[in-house]
Amino acid sequence: AAVSRWSHGGKNRRRAMARTLAAPVRPLRMLIGGRLLHGTAVFPVVNPSTGKAFAEAPVCSRDQLNEAVQAAQSAFRSWGAAGPAKRQDAMRKAAGKVKAESKTLSDLLVQEQGKPLSSARGEIAAVVNFMERLAKIEYSFEKVLMESEQETVVQQAVPIGVVGGITPWNFPPLMAAWKMGEALMTANTIVLKPSPHTPLSTLALGEILADVFPPGVLNVVSGGDEVGRWL
């Protein structure tokens, strides 16, 4: 009986995986300056379990990349002036929106990266957990190192501006969350580019979070190695 139960369980898991792998993927867009945009061309995304293309991703042109960088530069000052509490609120909202889309993101990650569904679900849960923890951290950009009648020594942390983030293929949404989260919570803005092997889950994150952060704070583009070199 035990063997039978395990056998049925294995069949059910295989059927669930097959449904996930066969699920159609709608065209995803890049997030540039608060707008969701198609690229000037597309490139195929291959499912490693089948060796076949199952979706397409947008190719970011050089003009579009320049637009993304300019949008991030324009948003930098106001995002820094917003203050830690507002950035924490935005990150908390981001975690909630990602959590609400966990199934969609997990299924997409299975298709583009080849993770088992349980591992993909675990990765998306880790994204949510990371964002929630970031939202709870008390950020201080100024620390008094020495204070006396003669002098006061203050250490100040200064945001650097626009961050160019390029992520690899092995943990696509989690590494995107690491780069995005740390940059944004320290009052920087970011232009994020995922690996051309696994662009879809990061593009989906951009779509999910498009209305969470002010325009230009978070930008997500995709394309081949040349886009990374331009960035």
DSSP string, 28-84: P-EEETTEEE--SEEEEEEETTTTEEEEEEEEPPHHHHHHHHHHHHHHHHHHHHT-H
Is the pLDDT at 4 greater than 90? The verdict is no
Of 149 and 135, the structure prediction assigns the larger pLDDT to: 135
pLDDT at position 142 is 74
Query: With pLDDT > 90 as the criterion, what percentage of the chain qualifies?
Result: 78
Confidence of residue 16 (pLDDT cuts 50, 70, 90): low
pLDDT at position 145 is 73
pLDDT at position 229 is 95
As to burial, measured by CB atoms within 10 angstroms (0-12 exposed, 13-18 middle, 19+ buried), residue 1 is: exposed
pLDDT at position 3 is 44
Is the pLDDT at 149 greater than 50? The verdict is yes
pLDDT at position 19 is 54
pLDDT at position 6 is 40
Is the pLDDT at 148 greater than 60? The verdict is yes
Please provide the average confidence, as pLDDT, over all residues in the chain: 90
Instruction: Mean pLDDT check: name the lowest of 1-10, 25-34, 51-60, 74-83.
Output: 1-10
Is the pLDDT at 15 greater than 90? The verdict is no
Write down the pTM of the prediction.
0.86
pLDDT at position 22 is 58
As to burial, measured by CB atoms within 10 angstroms (0-12 exposed, 13-18 middle, 19+ buried), residue 45 is: buried
Confidence of residue 99 (pLDDT cuts 50, 70, 90): very high
HSE-up of residue 76 (Cα within 13 Å, Cβ side): 18
For residues 65-77, average pLDDT: 98
Tell me how long the chain is.
Answer: 231
Query: Quick check: helix, strand or coil at residue 100?
Result: helix
